[in-house]
């Protein structure tokens, strides 16, 4: 799943060094945490969230029995953006 999320989101990313995808797997779901710069997170969401919803739909189709959930993680205020 991490590779699929990276493949779908990477074209929107302008700061690839700050882009990370990690997953936390459970028996019934997979949480995919996407970390990126603030500007890239806005592009990943897209206008009115359309990009995020489209990727979520693709993941739902590919997820099988486990429900994939995407979480766009904001950079912390103390951490410097790259």
CATH number, domain at 47?
3.30.300.20
3-state SS class at 80: coil
Q: Is residue 80 part of a domain?
A: no
How many C-beta atoms surround the C-beta of residue 36 within 10 A? 27
The number of domains in the chain is 1
Q: Interhelix angle for 50-62 vs 38-45, to 10°? A: 70
Domain assignment of residue 32, given as a range? 2-73
Reading the chain (82 residues) residue by residue, the pLDDT tens digits are 899 999 999 999 999 999 999 999 888 899 999 999 999 999 999 999 999 999 999 999 987 888 999 999 988 765 554 4
DSSP letters of 16-58? GGG-EEEEEE-SSEEEEEEE--HHHHHHHH-GGGHHHHHHHHH
Model confidence, pTM: 0.83
Q: Would you say residue 9 lies in a domain?
A: yes
């Amino acid at each position: 799943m991490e590779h699929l999320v990276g493949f779908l989101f990477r074209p929107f990313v302008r700061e690839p060094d700050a882009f990370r995808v990690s997953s936390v797997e459970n028996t019934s779901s997979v949480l995919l945490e996407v970390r990126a710069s603030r500007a890239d997170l806005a592009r990943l969401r897209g206008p009115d969230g359309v990009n995020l919803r489209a990727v979520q739909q693709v993941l739902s189709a590919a997820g099988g029995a486990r429900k994939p959930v995407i979480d766009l993680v904001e950079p912390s205020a103390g951490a410097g953006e790259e």
